[in-house]
């Protein structure tokens, strides 16, 4: 069974953390993964930095830019992650845009992920129809889940299509805007959470965008299996460094 499925079957609400590989420093990637697991995080999304991250807010954009300047790229990330499964047992997901994966070669990228022990990918700009027609078999051959995103403007028909093809979880984007943490959610966002909950989808949902503290975490887990925190975690890394990870994660729960 995929590690993501095992984690989703556990009792309680899940906390998944996104961070940009190679930030704050090039060699921080593995140390951050270790500290996140030690802090009780349930899943980790490792961001593959890209020069044109369209869906990302300024915090993640800045971390991507600095990671690239630090020397992070696909080959460096794969080198850093060699042997990661000797010490890391929780699910690891690579999140990134399709361009670097295409440049590396989709089949080669998936094979490398399988060798390292990556459990799945999140590729925001890979359309589901294009994935299904061209890459689904490659992902399946390499035991990789591909998690899709839904947003407030996604039609019910599209959501049901995504639900029918999904493995693992659906990444439920809390708003139509770019990433970035907030202190609360609007009534419109709560209505959206409730509307999706009533659809009774077969695939568990994890909510991201706008989650960054105990209050927002506790709100979204009322309507989903868990929460994803990205911008707020990266901001904490920027302000307090890698050694602050345990205290930050503790403040969320």
The catalytic residue positions are 45, 56
State the residue for tokens 């889940």.
145
Taking only Cα atoms into account, the Rg of the chain, rounded to an integer number of angstroms, comes to 17
Cβ–Cβ < 8 Å for 201, 159: yes
What is the Cα–Cα distance from 48 to 103, expressed in whole angstroms?
13
Instruction: Write the DSSP assignment of 115-179 as a string of letters.
Output: HHT--EEE-TTS-HHHHHHHTHHHHHHTT-EEE-EE-TTS-HHHHHHHHHH--S-EEEESSSS--
| SS3 label, residue 107 | helix
Closest CA to 102 of 80, 122, 126, 133: 126
């Amino acid at each position: 069974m995929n590690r993501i499925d095992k984690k989703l079957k556990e009792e309680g609400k899940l906390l998944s953390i996104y961070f940009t590989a190679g930030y704050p420093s090039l060699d921080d990637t593995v140390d951050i993964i270790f500290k996140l697991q030690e802090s009780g995080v349930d899943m980790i999304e490792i961001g593959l930095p890209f020069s044109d991250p369209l869906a990302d807010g300024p915090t993640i954009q800045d971390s991507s830019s600095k990671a690239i300047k630090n020397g992070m790229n696909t080959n460096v990330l794969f080198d850093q992650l060699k042997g990661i499964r000797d010490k890391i047992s929780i699910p690891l997901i690579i999140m990134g845009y399709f361009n670097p994966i295409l440049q590396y070669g989709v089949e080669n990228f998936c094979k490398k992920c399988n060798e390292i022990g990556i459990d799945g990918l999140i590729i925001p700009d890979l359309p589901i129809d294009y994935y299904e027609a061209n890459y689904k078999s490659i992902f399946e051959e390499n035991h990789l889940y591909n998690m899709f995103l839904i947003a407030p403007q996604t039609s019910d028909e599209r959501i049901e299509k995504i639900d029918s093809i999904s493995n693992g979880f659906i990444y439920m984007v809390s708003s139509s805007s770019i990433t970035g943490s907030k202190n609360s959610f609007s009534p419109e966002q709560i209505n959206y959470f409730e509307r999706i909950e009533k659809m009774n989808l077969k695939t568990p949902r994890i909510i991201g965008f706008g989650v960054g503290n105990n209050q927002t975490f506790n709100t979204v887990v009322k309507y989903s299996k868990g929460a994803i925190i990205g911008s707020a975690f990266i901001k904490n890394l920027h302000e307090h460094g890698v050694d602050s990870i345990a205290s930050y994660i503790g403040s969320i729960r």
